[in-house]
């Protein structure tokens, strides 16, 4: 019996030592910034995370990650007053992200490849407005911090407002289809 208990204890300890580690997102210290361009300039802002986590192997290698973004928090940071309120409202309505119907977006890592140092090349599923498409980008993992950026084509998520692909004669009202997202994620 004693021998059996030793074997069970050894197996439990081995599983603990060799188990993956999941680090949760620290929402108060994490940042998600966006940049959208148009013919006559650009606008930028931020969005709040709702939840998220990163899974590391026992060796500390990035294996997986999942994040949920609260789209109702989309915020313009380069404008103030009435113009800020108008743009924030427009981004939240049906022309863009339709946050009353689609209050969250998600990013789920599907494939992670190590590069030099603590840099990883990631292919992830980005879901916006219930449409899921892959995005590929690099992530730098430094202790309990993950940083990087990616770009996505908003039109593949049915966000066509002001797109030259779908509307003619927009002139200086045309909005670029590419949206850049920078992330600075703190983990706990």
What does the pLDDT look like over 54-93, one tens digit per residue? Answer: 999 998 999 999 999 999 999 999 999 999 999 999 999 9
Burial label for 15, CB within 10 Å (0-12, 13-18, 19+), is exposed
What residue spans define the domains of the chain?
20-186
Q: What are the phi and psi torsion angles at 2 (to 5°)?
A: -60, -40
What does the pLDDT look like over 115-151, one tens digit per residue? Answer: 988 999 999 999 999 999 999 999 999 999 999 999 9
Query: Chain centroid to CA 9: how far?
Result: 40
Burial label for 10, CB within 10 Å (0-12, 13-18, 19+), is exposed
pLDDT band at residue 15 using 50, 70 and 90 as cut-offs? very low
Report helix, strand and coil shares of the chain as percent, to nearest 5.
20, 50, 30
For 20-186, CATH number? 2.40.128.110
pLDDT band at residue 176 using 50, 70 and 90 as cut-offs? very high
What's the confidence (pLDDT) of residue 14?
47
What does the pLDDT look like over 94-103, one tens digit per residue? Answer: 999 999 999 9
Using a cut of 0.85, tell me whether the model's pTM lies above it: yes
What's the confidence (pLDDT) of residue 19?
84
Average pLDDT over the chain, rounded to an integer = 93
| Residues 156, 170: Cα–Cα separation, whole Å | 20
């Amino acid at each position: 019996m004693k021998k059996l208990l030793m074997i069970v204890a050894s197996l439990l300890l081995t599983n603990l030592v060799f188990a993956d580690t999941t680090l949760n997102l620290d929402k108060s210290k994490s940042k998600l910034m966006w940049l959208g361009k148009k013919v006559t300039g650009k606008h930028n802002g931020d969005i709040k995370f709702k939840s998220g986590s990163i899974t590391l192997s026992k060796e500390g290698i990035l294996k997986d990650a999942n994040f949920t973004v609260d789209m109702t928090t989309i915020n313009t940071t380069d404008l103030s007053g009435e113009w800020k309120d108008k743009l924030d409202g427009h981004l939240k309505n049906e022309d863009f992200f339709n946050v009353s119907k689609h209050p969250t977006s998600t990013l789920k890592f599907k494939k992670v490849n190590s590069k030099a140092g603590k840099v990883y090349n990631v292919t992830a599923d980005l879901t916006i407005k219930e449409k899921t498409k892959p995005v590929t980008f690099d992530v730098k993992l430094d202790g309990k911090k993950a940083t990087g950026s990616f770009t996505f084509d908003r039109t593949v998520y049915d966000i066509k407002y002001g797109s030259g692909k779908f509307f003619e004669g927009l002139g200086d009202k045309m909005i670029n289809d590419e949206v850049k997202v920078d992330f600075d994620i703190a983990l706990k």
